[in-house]
Chains A and B, each alone.
Chain A
Amino acid sequence: MTEVTEQSARQTGGAEQAVDLDAVDQIIERHGRHRGAAIPILQAIQERFRYLPQAALERVCERTELQPAQVEGIATFYSQFRRRPVGDHIVSVCVGTPCHVAGADAITESLMRHLDIPDNRDTDEEGRWTIEEVPCLGCCSLAPVAKIGERFYGYLTRDTAPRMLEHFLQTYGGRDADEEPPGRPGGRQEDGELTEIRLGLDSACIASGSDRVRAVLLEEAQRLGAAAHVRGAACAGMYFQEPVVEVLVDGHSFRYAGVTPGVARHLARRHLRGRGLLARGKAALLRAKDLLTSDSAWTEPDDHTLDSRDPATNAFLAGQKHLVMEGAGRLDPDSLDDYEAWDGYRALREVLVERTPEEVIEAVKKSGLRGRGGAGFPTGQKWEHVRARHEDTKYVVMNGDEGDPGAFMDRMLMESYPHRILEGLAIAAYAIGAQEAHLYIRAEYPLAVRRIRRAIRQAEERGYLGKNILGSDFSLRVNIMQGAGAFVCGEETALLASLEGRRGMPHYRPPYPAERGLWGKPTLVNNVETFANIPWILRNGPEAFAAIGTERSKGTKVFALVGRIKRGGLIEVPMGIRIGEIVDEIAGGMQEGRIFKAVQIGGPSGGCLPASLRDVKIDYEELTQHGAMMGSGGLVVMDKDTCMVDIARYFLEFTQNESCGKCTFCRVGTRRMREILERLCEGDGKPEDIELLEQLANRIKGTTLCALGQSAPNPVLTTLRYFREEFEAHVEGRCPAGLCLALIRYEVTDECNGCTVCAQACPADVIEARPYEKHEIDQDTCVHCGSCRDACPRDAIILRKD
């Protein structure tokens, strides 16, 4: 074994590490020596060593075509790569939009304080825990969210966050993730007495605990000796009541929402029938025992029953139209049989047998489908451009680098409908004349990668992918590449650069990838949702698709509906639906006591529309006219407690962090905008700041290399357009929403009776305990956490915004 002892100068931990160079060599063997393998090689090294040791990188340069400059460049560009060792466990705190709005800052701060980690470091002394902030984990209904490995924790508070660490160690024994779930137990019984149980097993569902629910169901099935088939189902998007479990027995369907492991146990006992007399007897006994030992045993599952007439579910689903989400709640993502039963791969078959590539393109054009990644470019036209290039080698690339904080549509599509995406992709490849496809999937989506990988295998086995698909001349090889953590790689030229092993820095267009793309060849780049629409269009005809939506925006759009609403989750709605319908009917309006203020559409590239514009339709042009943008599907509903200046600051901070750094206006310009916004939120704003902010925003908008920079000012411009008074208030030192910590104060009123509870609750020792006397908050040292107000039993502490 070749070993090199290394002491990286960059480590603040200073720990020596022995680097096994044989392992590095093996990695090189596996991935190849050419430049394009750069990122996968580094990813593999990081997986093996948990960071990128200098000695390993040098070995790579020695043994491959990779140059030191290239390696240095990408190892420092992508967020995923670490040059210093990490702790044993990494705690990823989500700072996506809904989590931010729900107070993610407090979570990070609480963890750092608990572990005594100084500001300039991210790992504790003992090297056990590393805290990092990540843009979006996609479990927005559970905000604030954090994960350790693949264990998710939702609804965190400042107090519970540190307890999460203990819980992780105890409950999971420190294991980041479980092995691949075992095959389906129980199998099919010839006597036909199969009980089928379906539940969502997507990342968001798992984050709600559906994997534990599943474990319990399997456990019970085994205990009862029942013939039960517990399987995953495509996401239905009802995150406000996940986990949702559906039991199909004797032709009847019973649905339960918000199922906990405890409820699952009772569910199982109610519905599962054991095989054989002995098993049934045992089951009956267990049921009787339950009856006798507790009252609640029977009421619990009933409380969770989802009647098909359940108003909440109906309201949520009524306004939707499932095209890409066809089969939601039913389709098992892991089953190709299921997909075929839902007309899967029929479109591909027909296309290969009956239609020419040109006819396919005509159909897509006629449908009016526009790119769902955000730009909204007519898809058929794009395909036509690539088709028109006379080149033998062409590529199809799926852009699965969904990076908007608070957006997880594509993740859901990849995890729930992998075959649908592959089918759309294959049809596209056929239409443009490509033989190779690359699926670029974001680093933060390991489950999506696993599902797609499995789907590819299944599809290849059945002849839907690979050589001579379904006996035709058409062949398609599909590769998966995982992103390494760079939001800018959602921009298509940056994505292609990444595929080529380079820094994800966009280049000016034209030339467009259709003309010169991956490795200089004509390339079609489309978003996940765009591909997912294709099978439906070809099966039902472009006219049917074009019948949905508005004049220029056809079909449907998947949105991640989050915020302080009653019902949040993933929805697929027809174009042309009004914002008000989404907020009031589908989402059910605001949570108790909250008032609708604005809706943010399109993530960091989009804009905030005030509640007064609730009649604006979801339509590419109409949204742009009002200053927002369709974007990839993020839709955050904000209430009166949201500070619009803070929201502008938050989005600028995000985009600014993700800027690739190539062009002046984005690299430096957005930084200056961010600094102005930070000043405003900290109460240091000057009157000229608003004008300067506008000047910068307007100039940056027209003068950058790519869409990241071009759209970065949008949140600022819309909030200035519709909420200017909030900016002016901040200049005066006020935060009307009462959010910006520097501009608010907590005060003890005369209601105080000196009970000292606030002093005990204060995490910063800012209140002196004075029994029987009115307490006082030291404004100089107060950290504005609000714990005192939460704790006060007499509501004697108020928040002052002036």
Chain B
Amino acid sequence: MPFTITIDGERLSVPAGTTILEAARRLGRDIPTLCHRDEVEPVGSCFLCVVAVRDRPGLVPSCVARVEDGMEVTTDSPEIRAARRMALELLFSDHPGDCEASCTLACPARLDIPGFLRHVAAGRPEAAARLIRRRIPLPGALGRICPAYCERACRRGQRDEPVAICAMKRHVPDREQQEGAAWLPERPEPTGRRVAIVGAGPAGLSAAYTLLSMGHACALYEARPQPGGMFRYAVPAYALPRDALEHEVEVIRRMGAEFHLNTALGREVTLEELRARHDAVLLATGAQADVPPGCPGAQAAIPALRFLEEVATGRRTDMAGGAVVVGDGQEALAAARSAVRLGAQPVTLLSGLSRARLTRQPGAQDAAEEGVTFETDAELVSLRQRDDGAVECAVRRPGGEMTLVGECVIAAGSRRVDVRGPARWGLEVEEGALSVDDAGRCRGAPDVFAAGEVTLGATWSVRAVAGAVGVAASVDQYLRGEPVVGERHLLCVRMGRVEPAVLEQLCRGYPETPRAEPQKLPAESRRGDFREVRPGLCAEAARQEARRCLNCDCRARDNCKLRIYGTEYGADLHRLDGESRGFERDDRHPELVYESGKCISCGLCVRISAAEDEELGMAFRNRGFGTRVGVPFDRPLSEGLTRATARCTEACPTGALAFKPEEVTG
């Protein structure tokens, strides 16, 4: 005799013995579960599947509750969602581990670093290239000049030396370039949509790659004669060789990008025209306004950006006499080191920072080796052009006053966005940058987006690239008629800096090996030319280095139900924090890794291994909050799971039991 029940107002007839969960599924309602698996008896452990049943107090676990005739069930309500959220938060509070590796989280572009390193370790540079470009479409450039936040967060660094992530990142496009290849991603059918990207600098190029990979057509409008933006016109060739940059652009060209060079917005083409001719416009015009020093005689100094552009375009090829560079950022150092290479002598860098701080800047060490002199704690008071053409710099320092003289004085102030542009285009400006909403859309212009330094202000290029990739996702949503919300990431459980005991777990099986450090060009030979100072790694060295990665990311990162539901229900990871179990990683089984810290005690592996008649299988140990799952009698995992390995691992709703990536041996 079937029962008639009501679920969310809909009636249906089900046989006696059906659970509420099964009945709901017949109506297409997918109630979330963690500890449920169709082929195994349900137990009612996780309580994510709670529903409300009329006349029953509290909430009911639908996976184990059987229907009764006339039952009225509600599967969704604010109370139910709050209960599910609390269940998830309780589980998270006792769940040590990292969803994403700490390097990935430190990277502004959220690059899947362990992922691409595993490809390199396995000798699959093409797969590595495609993976990297999903987040960083210009790996050859960034792998040379990025400050590498990732390496600072690298757990390996807690043990010996961090993995040389940056070097690994550029190694991949270097290989590609060597082989004359372009490892393009698979693309979907063309969508028929066209996007205009204004500016072919790091942000514009990155947005183009991303949108092209999604199937849209892209036309880049670049004011300068060549694409590259800051990468070409501000980063000297000794840091980013021209051919490497060309290769990056070539890849994007091969993706189908159209380039309109020497075309400036507001000059050769207007915003209205672009909006009319394209389905969406993305502004990536950068922050290229140099702020001159505010002292008297400032006009006697050359702006650093102009100087660097002259060097890059070959308009300035040699310098006689001394040069003084005022400033301490990357442009200042680039100007100083370029001046050295052009023959200027002496080259002095005048900075208001202390010596200690200045020498910590990336590139400062190299500059000192190349002969640049630092005058620190110094303030420029005034400039005076002398009759003989040289420039006098009056400098004030704690010790007293002094005068520096140079044939050429280069001023590297902070870079700004030229806000006159946006104003002319009718767009809002906020705090010295183009104003956009959280998804990167310009206010009041639904089809106009902006990314990179034009919205962020002058910053590290990796942020501009990351921002552009993110906004490209918004453009894609817009083009598809979906709500424009930008990139959405799954929540991340993270351990942060780990205790020695945990580090030991992570490092087990990884021998202590030194970090690969390619040889810098000796300082003397650097003075004369613009050859690349830091060469890349050879293939074998790269493979070895990639194997140093501890693979801190969770094996179930992309299909962990706890993570997915946690994100869906807006779980606050730390609201219910308290004592929690320790992190443990057991990777002695040939096929799988067991991280007991991530276990939610659902018992699926216990039941499945029993059903498969494993001699040992998995067992519950202890009771209550201290419940753990493990192999009986402390035997190794390889003895515990033999024929049930695959079923148990697939059933595990978190990353506790997960398959080893094939690349990681042992």
A residues apposed to B, CB below 8 Å? 9, 54, 57-58, 67-73, 76-77, 486, 503, 507-508, 510-511, 656-665, 667-669, 671-672, 675, 692, 695-696, 699, 701-705, 710
Q: A671 to B578, Cβ gap below 8 A? A: yes
Within 8 A of A (CB), among B586-620: 600-601, 603, 606, 609-610, 615-620
> B545-557, CB under 8 A of A: which get 1 and which 0?
0000000000000
21 contacts between A and B (CB under 8 A): A54-B633, A68-B633, A69-B610, A70-B619, A73-B619, A657-B624, A658-B624, A661-B601, A661-B622, A663-B61, A664-B90, A668-B90, A668-B93, A668-B94, A669-B86, A669-B90, A671-B625, A672-B93, A675-B579, A699-B86, A705-B45
| Residue of B58, B94, B609 ringed by the most chain A CB atoms within 10 A | B58
**Contacts known (A663-B47, A671-B579, A672-B93); A705 close to B624, Cβ less than 8 A:** no
Indicate the size class of the contact surface on chain B: 35 or more
Select A675's contact among B48, B578, B615, beta carbons within 8 Å.
B578
Most chain A beta-carbon contacts within 10 A, residue among B87, B610, B621, B623: B623
Least CB distance, A709 to chain B, in whole angstroms: 10
* A residues near B86, Cβ cutoff 8 Å: 665, 669, 695-696, 699
Q: Roughly how many angstroms separate A710 CA and B44 CA in the complex, as a whole number?
A: 14
Contact B45 A77 (CB under 8 A): no
Closest to A705 in B: B44
A543→B616 CA distance, assembly (Å): 58
The CA-CA distance from A25 to B90 in the complex, in Å, is 45
List B residues 559-597 near A (Cβ within 8 Å): 576, 578-579
State the majority secondary structure of interface residues on A.
helix
Q: Are B578 and A69 in contact (CB under 8 A)?
A: no
Q: Say if the beta carbon of B57 comes within 8 Å of chain A.
A: yes
Kindly provide the distance from the CB of B76 to the nearest chain A CB, expressed in whole angstroms.
16
Contact B620 A73 (CB under 8 A): yes
Are A663 and B45 within 8 A (Cβ)? yes
Q: In the complex, what distance in Å separates the CA atom of A695 from the CA atom of B58? A: 14
Q: Are A660 and B619 in contact (CB under 8 A)?
A: no
B620-640 vs A, CB cutoff 8 Å, 1 = contact: the mask equals 111111110000111000000
Q: Complex formed: what's the CA distance from A657 to B91 in Å? A: 18
CA distance A664 to B616 in the complex (A): 26
Q: CB of B395 within 8 A of chain A?
A: no
- A489–B59 Cα distance when bound, in Å, is 23
Q: Chain A residues near B224: list those with CB within 8 A.
A: none
Kindly state the separation between the CA atoms of A696 and B600 in the bound complex, as whole angstroms: 19
- Within the assembled complex, what's the spacing in Å between the Cα atoms of A602 and B259? 80
> Is B66 at the interface (CB under 8 A from chain A)?
yes
The reply to whether B90 and A76 form a contact with Cβ atoms under 8 Å apart is no
Contacts of B90 in A (CB 8 A): 664-665, 668-669, 672
Residues of B contacting A664 with CB < 8 Å? Answer: 45-48, 87, 90-91, 600
Chain A residues near B609: list those with CB within 8 A. 69
Do B632 and A72 touch across chains, with their CB atoms under 8 A apart?
yes
Residues of chain A within 8 A of B57, CB atoms compared = 702
Q: Indicate if the CB atoms of A661 and B624 lie closer than 8 Å.
A: yes
Q: Please indicate which of the listed interface residues A658, A669, A692 has the most CB atoms of chain B within 10 Å of its own CB.
A: A669
Q: A656-B624, A659-B623, A703-B83 are in contact. Are A69 and B616 (CB under 8 A)?
A: yes
| Nearest CB of chain A from residue B404's CB, rounded to whole Å | 58
Cβ of B182 under 8 Å from chain A:
no
Q: A67-B610, A510-B66, A662-B601 are in contact. Are A703 and B58 (CB under 8 A)?
A: yes
Q: Would B619 and A68 count as touching, CB distance under 8 A?
A: yes
Q: Which residues of B contact A503 (CB under 8 A)?
A: 620, 623
Q: Which 10 A-B pairs have the closest CB atoms?
A: A702-B58, A661-B627, A72-B632, A69-B619, A68-B632, A659-B624, A668-B90, A508-B64, A72-B619, A661-B624
Is the beta-carbon distance between B64 and A72 smaller than 8 angstroms?
A: no
Q: How far is the CA of A674 from the CA of B621 in the complex (A)?
A: 22
B contact face: mostly helix, strand, loop, or mixed:
loop
Q: CA–CA, A672 to B58, complex, Å?
A: 20
Given contacts A660-B623, A664-B87, 15 further A-B contacts (CB under 8 A): A67-B617, A68-B615, A68-B616, A68-B632, A69-B616, A72-B632, A76-B621, A656-B624, A659-B624, A664-B45, A665-B87, A667-B625, A667-B627, A672-B578, A675-B578
CB distance from A515 to the nearest CB of B (A): 11
A76 and B623: CB pair below 8 A? Answer: yes
Whether A668 lies near B91 (C-beta < 8 A) is yes
- Give every chain A residue within 8 A of B230 (Cβ-Cβ): none
**Which B residues are in CB contact (< 8 Å) with A77?**
620, 622-623
**Choice from B64, B83, B624 contacting A660 with Cβ under 8 Å:** B624
Contact B44 A661 (CB under 8 A): no
Which chain B positions have C-beta within 8 A of A695? 86
Smallest CB separation, A337 vs chain B (Å): 45
Of A9, A486, A656, A703, which contacts B59 at CB under 8 A?
Answer: A703
Q: Are A57 and B633 in contact (CB under 8 A)?
A: yes
Check A667 against B618 for contact (C-beta < 8 Å).
Answer: no
- For residue B620, give the distance in angstroms from its CB to the closest CB of chain A: 5
In the complex formed, the residue of B with least CB distance to A57 is B633
Contact B61 A672 (CB under 8 A): no
A68 to B618 Cα, complex, angstroms: 9
B502 part of interface (Cβ distance < 8 Å): no
Distance between Cα atoms of A692 and B89 in the complex (Å)? 13
Whether B50 is near chain A, meaning CB under 8 Å from some CB there, is yes
- List residues of chain B with CB within 8 A of the CB of A507: 43-44, 64
Are A703 and B632 closer than 8 Å at their CB atoms?
Answer: no
Q: What is the distance, in angstroms, from B71's C-beta to the closest C-beta of chain A?
A: 12
Residues of B within 8 A of A703 (CB): 47, 50, 58-59, 83, 87
Q: Which residues of A contact B45 (CB under 8 A)?
A: 662-664, 705
Q: Which residues of B contact A705 (CB under 8 A)?
A: 44-45, 47, 61
Which B residues are CB-close (under 8 A) to A658? 623-624
A71 in contact with B634 given A672-B90, A703-B83, A705-B61 (CB within 8 Å) = no
Contacts of B65 in A (CB 8 A): 508, 510
Q: Is the CB of B625 within 8 A of A661?
A: yes
Docked CA distance A701–B618 (Å): 31
Using Cβ atoms and an 8 Å threshold, which residues of chain A touch B626? Answer: 661
Q: Measured between alpha carbons, how far is A510 from B44 in the docked complex, in Å? A: 12
How far, in whole Å, are A702 and B626 apart by their CA atoms in the complex? 23
CA distance A421 to B618 in the complex (A): 41
CB of B59 within 8 A of CB of A702, answer yes
Chain A residue contacts of B64, Cβ below 8 A: 507-508
Min CB–CB distance B640 → chain A (angstroms): 9
Q: Which residues of A contact B82 (CB under 8 A)?
A: 699
Docked-complex contact A69 and B606, CB < 8 angstroms: yes
Tell me which residues across on chain A come within 8 A of B620, comparing CB atoms: 72-73, 76-77, 503, 661
Q: Which residues on the A side are within 8 Å of B43 (C-beta)?
A: 507, 662
Q: Which residues of A contact B91 (CB under 8 A)?
A: 664, 668
Instruction: Give Cα distance in the complex from A508 to B600, angstroms.
Output: 19
Within the complex, the shortest CB–CB distance from B207 to chain A, in Å, comes to 43
Which residues of chain B have C-beta atoms less than 8 A from A659's C-beta? Answer: 623-625
> With the chains together, A502 CA to B57 CA distance in Å?
29
- A511 to chain B: which residues have CB within 8 Å? 66
Query: Which among A58, A70, A508 is the interface contact of B61 at CB below 8 angstroms?
Result: A508
Q: Provide the bound-state CA to CA distance between A675 and B579, in Å.
A: 8
Tell me the complex Cα distance, A72–B622, Å.
9
Q: Which residues of A contact B606 (CB under 8 A)?
A: 69
Q: What distance in Å separates the Cβ of B580 from its nearest Cβ neighbour in chain A?
A: 9
Nearest-neighbour CB distance to chain B for A15, whole angstroms, equals 19
A72 to B630, CA, bound (A): 10
Q: Which residues of chain B (45-104) have a CB below 8 Å from chain A?
A: 45-48, 50, 57-59, 61, 64-66, 82-83, 86-87, 90-91, 93-94
| A667 engages B578 (CB within 8 Å) | no
Most chain A Cβ neighbours within 10 Å, of B59, B94, B619, B634: B619
Looking at A57, A72, A77, A659, the one whose CB has the most chain B CB atoms below 10 A away is A72
Q: Which of B50, B576, B626, B634 has the most CB of A within 10 A?
A: B576
A660 shortest CB reach to chain B, Å: 6
Docked CA distance A692–B616 (Å):
42
Q: A507-B64, A671-B579 are in contact. Are A72 and B94 (CB under 8 A)?
A: no
Indicate the member of B66, B93, B579, B624 with the most A CB atoms within 10 Å: B624
